[in-house]
Each structure stands twice: as C-alpha cells, then as structure tokens.
C-alpha cells in the first residue's frame, strides 16, 4: 500500500490540526441534541472482601456510597481531567454499583445524559473509572490485590455520528 492510499484509509482525527497538533474541536456549528452514554466496568476482589463491604465492615465506612458519589462528581469534572474535552452542562449522571459474586466483586455502570453539541462518552467512562478507583481506595485496607477491569463504552445515542451499541 502506498502512502496516499494509507492516508485515505485513516479516519478523520478531529482533535488534530493539519499540522498534526492537538486542538479542541469547534462544535459551535453542531446542533444541540439529546445525547446519552452508558459505560461499564468491574472491580474484582476476594470473596472475603466482597462480604466485608456488603456487611458494612470496611474500615473507612460507606464504601459503595462514597464510590457512587465520586463517580458522579468525576463525570462533572471530566473537562478538567481530559485535556481536549469540552466542559458540559450535564443533566443526568447515574452511577450504579452492583455486587457480582461470580467475579467476585462489583459491576459499575454509569449513565450520563445532556442536551448539547457534543457527546458524553468520556464523562460516562470517567464516572466508572473514578467510582472503581474510589471503591479500591475505600477497601484497600481489606485487600490490595483488587483488580479494576473491563472499563468500556456500552452505548451512546445522539449526535452526527449516530447511535453506538457495543457487541456483547
């Protein structure tokens, strides 16, 4: 494949200028539409750690409530954490942390919604990531070998690029 055909097959990288320098995408000409994103992740731990958290016996207190609140707060701060993200007026952030004895550990799900000119995938992914990190922090006195895994975008709706649903 020659260089010209390789260049044609590359996707349009909207965060790069013609010179290759990163820049914030101008979304001012886009229509404001309702956009949602759902992200998922997991944290694996020993069955004893899961049992202690579920029983409310973690040394730092309310592990799940703190992690859920941290995920919500993180979604609202995404533009401060990811350099080229737009600051967005989020209208819904829902973080759910559900015990999964088959891991063992927790499934973490975040749904973010707004009406704006750009999407909220990064906000949903940030919410899941920070909720998992906070869960780790709150329970690390019980176990340091916990693993944060499988953080991914499940779905997104709205916008010019259309809807996305991850393969199961």
Domain ranges of the chain: 35-156
17 assigned binding-site residue:
no
Catalytic residue among 26, 62, 137, 163: 137
Q: Which fold has domain 35-156?
A: Alpha-Beta Plaits (3.30.70)
153 assigned binding-site residue:
no
Per residue of the chain (168 residues), what is the pLDDT tens digit? 344 444 444 456 565 566 666 666 667 667 889 999 999 999 999 999 999 999 999 999 999 999 999 999 999 999 999 988 999 999 999 999 999 999 999 999 999 999 998 889 999 999 999 999 999 999 999 999 999 999 999 999 998 888 999 997
How far apart are alpha carbons 125 and 72 in whole angstroms?
Answer: 11
15 assigned binding-site residue:
no
pLDDT of res. 52: 97
How far apart are alpha carbons 142 and 115 in whole angstroms?
Answer: 41
137 given a catalytic annotation: yes
pLDDT of res. 119: 87
122 assigned binding-site residue:
yes
pLDDT of res. 22: 63
pLDDT of res. 26: 62
81 assigned binding-site residue:
no
How far apart are alpha carbons 45 and 144 in whole angstroms?
Answer: 9
How far apart are alpha carbons 168 and 159 in whole angstroms?
Answer: 23
pLDDT of res. 29: 67
């Amino acid at each position: 494949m020659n260089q010209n055909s390789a260049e044609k097959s590359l996707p349009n990288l909207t965060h790069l200028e013609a010179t290759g320098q990163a820049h914030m995408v101008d979304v001012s000409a886009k229509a404001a539409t309702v956009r949602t994103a759902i992200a998922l992740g997991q944290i694996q731990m020993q069955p004893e750690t899961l049992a202690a958290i579920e029983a409310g016996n973690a040394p730092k207190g309310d592990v799940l409530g703190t992690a859920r609140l941290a995920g919500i707060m993180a979604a609202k701060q995404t533009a401060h954490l990811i350099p080229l993200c737009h600051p967005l007026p989020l209208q819904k952030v829902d973080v759910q942390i559900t015990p999964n004895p088959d891991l063992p550990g927790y499934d973490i799900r975040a749904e973010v919604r707004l009406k704006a000119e750009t999407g909220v995938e990064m906000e949903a992914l940030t919410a899941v990531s920070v909720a998992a990190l906070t869960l780790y922090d709150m329970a690390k006195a019980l176990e340091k070998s916990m693993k944060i895994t499988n953080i991914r975008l499940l779905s997104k709706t709205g916008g010019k690029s259309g809807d996305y649903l991850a393969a199961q």
